[in-house]
A and B are shown apart, each in its own frame.
Chain A
Amino acid sequence: MNIQCPICDASFEIPASSEVAEIISCIECQNKLEVVGIHKESAKADVKEAPKVEEDWGE
């Protein structure tokens, strides 16, 4: 699936098995992105900048 980085505008492919809410890294600017929509028919996905780490994050 093709995505466009909202930070640096790079366009690149992510695996077809990607899930909504999955975190990926931009291959150009290395920023973390979150998948927010998948359009299987057009083989495209929407992404936004991933949320920043919050105080209660962890395992």
Chain B
Amino acid sequence: MKLKKTRIGLLHTTIRGDEKLLIEAAEKRAIDLTLIDVREQIFDPLAEKPQLDVVLERCISTVKGMHAVEFYESLGIPAVNPLAIARVCENKFMTSLALVRHHVPSPRFILAFNEEQSKKAVIELGGYPVVIKPVSGSWGRLVARINDEHALEAVLEQKETLGGPNHHAFYIQQYIEKPGRDIRVHVIGGRVVAAIYRASSHWVTNTARGAEAIACQIDTELEKIAKKAGDAIGEGVLGIDVFETNDGYVVNEVNHTMEFKNVVRVTGVDIAGLILDYCVSLARK
């Protein structure tokens, strides 16, 4: 009996090296992969239903990706990651709240909407330095280390004057001194599958900002905290950012459309294949 191929819709905007790895991995498996450039789609729920068993969201644009996932889920097609996960991960405040709710060690944080409250909050966080981040954003962009009250006033004024409504929500996080690196852990379907160090002499350690990817051995504690963070966010395909501190690991952020080509390069773990295998396990029967 011929096995039916799983039909996966790869939702994308521009195609990066990560998506190329997914395309290559699909060719090695019994997968019928359809590339769907969401920029070119008309999302009409009354039009013919797409013949897909599952969609894999890999859009570089969060707004476009979330709308596309909402559309396919509304048609009864499961998505990786589901909208419920995207909603938590695309907003750092929501991510942090989910981590706290599930008792996952993470840096202290607050959200405030004005300067006066922000100044009070810094004291609550233990004083300067602190880190201000946009509630939505990635690749370490517009992240600012604030060393004193003067810098806080300047950055908040700029955010209020120049930024859109999202920038008027001040997400402020305790500054964590890192050993020149952080750790990106990949969790797929509840399984911790790979980790890399992201090493940099700069305090921002995103590979998008030039940090070097180095293979990281996953010890018991790292596996435990990554799994716990994954459980807090929901089962899916997650990139979890972890800091090493004197008191143990803490989870900084969780990403829902993680880039992984550097992880594959330095660890040899077939992340693309694991993502597709996970998608097949969720496909509509």
Contact = CB atoms under 8 A, between A and B. Distances in A.
Interface of A: 17, 19-23, 34, 50-51, 54-59
7 contacts: A19-B15, A20-B37, A21-B12, A23-B15, A56-B64, A57-B139, A58-B62
B217 interface: no
Nearest to B139: A58
Interface in B17-60: 19-20, 23, 35, 37, 60
Interface of B: 12-16, 19-20, 23, 35, 37, 60-64, 136-139, 141, 164, 239, 255-259
B37 A59 contact: no
Contact of A58 (B20, B37, B60): B60
Contact of A57 (B15, B35, B60, B239): B60
A21 B14 contact: yes
Contact of B139 (A17, A19, A22, A59): A59
B164 to A, nearest CB: 8
Given A19-B19, A56-B136, A59-B259, 10 more contacts: A19-B23, A20-B35, A21-B35, A34-B14, A51-B14, A56-B61, A58-B137, A59-B139, A59-B257, A59-B258
B138 A57 contact: yes
